[in-house]
Amino acid sequence: MGEYVLFVDDEDCILDVAEAVFEQHEVRILTAKNAEEALEKVKSHEVAVIVSDQHMPGMMGLELLSRIKAMSPDTVKILMTGFADLETAIDAINRVEVFRFIVKPWENTQLVELVTDALKRYRLIKSIVKGDDAAMLSLVRALELKDPYTKGHSERVAEYAVSIGSKLDLNDKSLKAIRYGSWLHDCGKIGVSENILNYEGPLDDAEIHIVRNHPMWGADVARKARLPETIVNIILYHHERYDGKGYPSGLKGSGEIPLEARIVAVADIYDALTTERPYRKAYDKNKALEMLISMKENVLDPDLVNLFSDLINKEEK
């Protein structure tokens, strides 16, 4: 049967517009005029994404999404409302794991981007659950197309990080976790707008907040896919700093930041330095290593930086 996007709203005109918008994007749409009808559709179809209005007669949108969370935990939930109030947003995040919000009346391009990102999240989770590495990598590469400067980034990070892990004589299970965690470390950027990812100037506070949420969003994907805690921790903590000034949790040093996350952090920053970004040119290997060494003790684990520098220098020779 395949996957569907379900729109729920008590206004016919809203459902008609949603169907018309997605008809040209080859996305299969289901519609429901109330919560009861929506629950029946979820029972009988594979609903990848649900977009529900908040204010409906009978059951409110948040209550519906809460019921669907129990029925179909992998379904990605989007809340649609004419009232962008903070209290509703916080309740939705804490209670029913809403992926994103959209305010009516929406812009069609915004809605399409939002639903497309939600579908990518759903498919990524399904590919991980199935153990389909090829499908997972394909989706990671598709995600990187949102930011052309990061093409191939996750796979290069995996190569660097596994090299570090091998030098530390980590076992095969740990090396596999490092590889998967590296591939998926930025998967939380599903749902971060391309405008933000590709913006060439400084971001404002709200945009920085969105970007800094990507480790938590990515870790949530990994948990939903029932990946081991080691992989979840790599995704969640790869932006922590050795001095405790990182995010999202402000963990500090080797005692708090998991080893695998510290390894991926070194690999991630080195690859970022040696590839072109919207705001600067790529650095050569020597300059990148020099900058990496300057981050010892403050951003990065000094022992891992030393080990990685030796690896890169030996590779050059």
d(CA 96, CA 85): 16
Is 189 annotated in the active site? yes
Distance CA 295, CA 249 (A): 19
Encoding tokens for residue 43? 């029972």
3-state secondary structure of 296: strand
Give, to the nearest 10 degrees, the angle between helix 172-184 and helix 133-144: 40
Cα–Cα dist 193/227, whole Å: 26
Give the whole-angstrom CA distance, residue 237 versus residue 229.
Answer: 12
In the numeric block, which tokens belong to residue 183? 């591939």
Residue 50's DSSP bridge partners are: 6, 77
Q: Out of 151, 189, 245, 287, which one is annotated catalytic?
A: 189
Q: Is 131 left (phi over 0), alpha (psi -120 to 50) or beta?
A: left
In sequence order, the β-bridge partners of residue 81 are 103
Considering all CA atoms of the chain, what is the largest pairwise distance in Å, rounded to the nearest integer?
A: 71
C-alpha distance from residue 84 to each of 31, 96, 113, 137, 199 (Å): 23, 17, 19, 36, 25
* Strand order from edge to edge, sheet including 100-103: 29-32, 3-8, 46-53, 76-81, 100-103
Residues in the chain: 317
Q: Which residues are catalytic?
A: 189
